[in-house]
Amino acid sequence: MKVFGIAGAGIMGTDIAHLAAEKGFSVILFDTDELRLRASYETIRERLSRYVEEKRIAQDEMAATLSKIKIHRNIQDLVNADIVIETVTEDITVKKALFRELDMVCRGGVVLASNTSSLSITELASVTKRPELVIGMHFINPARAMKLVEIISGMATTWETVETAKDIVKKFGKVFVESKDYPGFLLNRIIIPMINEAIYALYEGAGSVEAIDRVVKQGMNIPMGPLELADMIGLDVVLAVIGELHTGFSDSKYRPCPLLKNYVAAGYLGRKSGRGFYSY
C-alpha cells in the first residue's frame, strides 16, 4: 500500500495528509474547494517550516514530505489510491453521497474509510457495492498530536479490512481501540455528554465559563476544560454528535443544550470561527 487518498481538506484531512506523507505514503488530497485545498497545503508547509526553524527536522525532510502531497479538485484522481479516508463534515447525507462517488471511482479491493466521530459505518457502507471494505478510522483532533485512533467495523466489514486499518494506524505511530458501531462509538459517547452537561451548567447559571473549566481541570487533573475542548472540537461538531447520540439511543440524557444550539446558529463555532465560549 503506497498511495493514500484523502477526501476533504479541512482540519482533519490536513493533519492526516501530513501524517501520511511523513510516514512515506504518496498522498492524493482531494477537495472540491480550491481555496481550502491551497490553505491545507500551506498549513502543512508552514508547519514544516517551523519544524525546520526549531531544528526538529532537516530541510531535506521538509522537501521530501511536501513532495509526496498532491492536491486535486477532481474526485476521479482518487482512482490511483490504495486506500481512501473521507474527512468531510459530520453529516450523514453528505458522507453517503461521497461514499457513493468513491465507490464508483475507486478500484475494486480499495478500502474506504471514514473519519466520522459518531455516524453509522454500516449505514455508510450500505450505499456502496463493497460494504466489506468500509471501515471507521476515527482520528482524534488534533490528529498530529493525539495518539489514539478508534477503529469501527460495520456489519459487513471483514477481518482483513480491520487488519488493514490496524496496520495503517501502526505505521502512523499511533495506537488503536476497536469500538462497536453504536452512535458516538466509545470516545464521543463518553466525552460529548460531559461537554453538553457543562454547557447546561453554563446555561442554567451554575457557574461561569472559567469556573466550569477550572473545576474540571483542577478537580479531575484533566488538561482541558469541557468548554475549552468544545471550542477546539467545533461547537457545530459537538452539536452534530450529541444530536446523533440523542437520535440513535432515543434517550433524553443526550438532549442537546439550547445554548449550544444558539451558539451554532449564531456562528459561534469555537476556535475556527474566532469565537465560541472564549474569544480567539
162 vs 169: CA distance, rounded Å: 11
68-to-55, 62, 71, 276 alpha-carbon distances in Å: 21, 10, 10, 35
Residue 188 catalytic? yes
Among 138, 153, 179, 244, the one annotated catalytic: 138
In one letter, which amino acid is 257?
A: C
Residues 165 and 111: beta-carbon distance below 8 Å:
yes
Q: For residue 27, what is the enclosing H or E element?
A: strand 26-30
Residues in the chain, how many?
A: 280
Residue 18 catalytic? no
Among 22, 86, 90, 150, the one annotated catalytic: 150
Residues 1 and 82: beta-carbon distance below 8 Å:
yes
Gyration radius from the chain CA atoms: 19
Q: For residue 214, what is the enclosing H or E element?
A: helix 209-220
Residue 72 catalytic? no
Residue 117 catalytic? yes
- What sign has the CA pseudo-torsion 17, 28, 181, 260? positive
Among 118, 120, 179, 188, the one annotated catalytic: 188
- What sign has the CA pseudo-torsion 125, 171, 138, 159? positive
For residue 270, give the DSSP letter: B
Among 117, 120, 141, 196, the one annotated catalytic: 117
Residues tagged active-site: 117, 138, 150, 188
